[in-house]
Amino acid sequence: MSADRETNQNMTNTDITLLLADAADEVEIGIAPYQAVMRGGRRRRARRWAVAAATALVLAGSSATLAVAGLPGGDGNRGASVATRPPTATPGVLLPQDRSLLAVGTDQGREWQVSVDVWPAPRDESQARASLNAMERYGETPVDIDTPAELVGKIAYFVTRGVGGTLFAPTSQNVVTEADALSGKDIEAVAVPLEPGSDGPQRLVVGHVAKTALQVTCIWKDGTTTEVHRARSSDVNSDEFVIRSPEGSPFDWFVCLAPEGTEYASAKVTG
């Protein structure tokens, strides 16, 4: 035992390196599962809030007419022009419910609005093809969906924001399934400048929470907070920040805007 201890004392860090190398050789390396990594990576990319990338991709993949249009639906009495939806006569296509308003407000005298289109999951490939065509006409192209088959069973959503009467390309988008529903205090949020393309502070926060969440608290970098409560039926077009349940979405949504002079720090479910 004492000999062991003595040997231990003499054990150098080089010995450790060699021992680790020896132990590491024990693992079975196998063939790199490149295809599986790619599939997993694409799934992850589809799930994340690829705000900048998604916006760039969508803009690149669609016509410039997307960039400027009127704000549709929702709070029509706030001076925003109403866009007419392109005709979608394709039989069998599942259209999104009316564009769901997530939040509306006025900042520095300019009206802004965030809304989401939730496209129901196509049941088969032909329906998925029709849905993709319809999405394209809406200027909504899901990144990471290469073939109609990939869309079958998946809900697609596109979050759009408009400022001062200009509707911008989707701020974020994703394809999800019912299994992506959130629970408990799960929260996913992204912060962006209110004005797309600007380098300004990340004041606008858009996020998901479980359908059971009653309250979200957005925490700003200056230490102040904004509380977002679950919407009541009377809050449908309210300019208060509320948690909303767009039809067809597997999770609920909230939006909040940091006061001028500060920006997003974090958000959590607090009720």
Query: What does the binding site for other proteins look like in residue numbers (CB under 8 A)?
Result: 1, 4-5, 7-11, 13-30, 32-34, 36-38, 40-45, 48, 53, 60
Q: Which amino acid is at 55?
A: T
Please name which of 266, 255, 48 lies closest in space to residue 172, comparing C-alpha atoms.
Answer: 48
Nearer to other proteins, 5 or 232 (CB): 5
Residues facing residue 87 across a β-bridge: none
Q: Which two tokens stand for residue 23?
A: 């132990």
Q: Say whether 54 sits in a helix, a strand or coil.
A: helix
Query: Least CB distance from residue 227 to other proteins, whole Å?
Result: 27
Query: Least CB distance from residue 18 to other proteins, whole Å?
Result: 3
Query: Least CB distance from residue 186 to other proteins, whole Å?
Result: 13
Nearer to other proteins, 41 or 76 (CB): 41
Query: Least CB distance from residue 144 to other proteins, whole Å?
Result: 10
* CA distance to 99, 186, 222, per residue, from 264 (Å): 26, 18, 9
Q: Say whether 112 sits in a helix, a strand or coil.
A: strand
Nearer to other proteins, 41 or 261 (CB): 41
How far is it, in rounded angstroms, from Cα 270 to Cα 212?
11
Nearer to other proteins, 15 or 124 (CB): 15
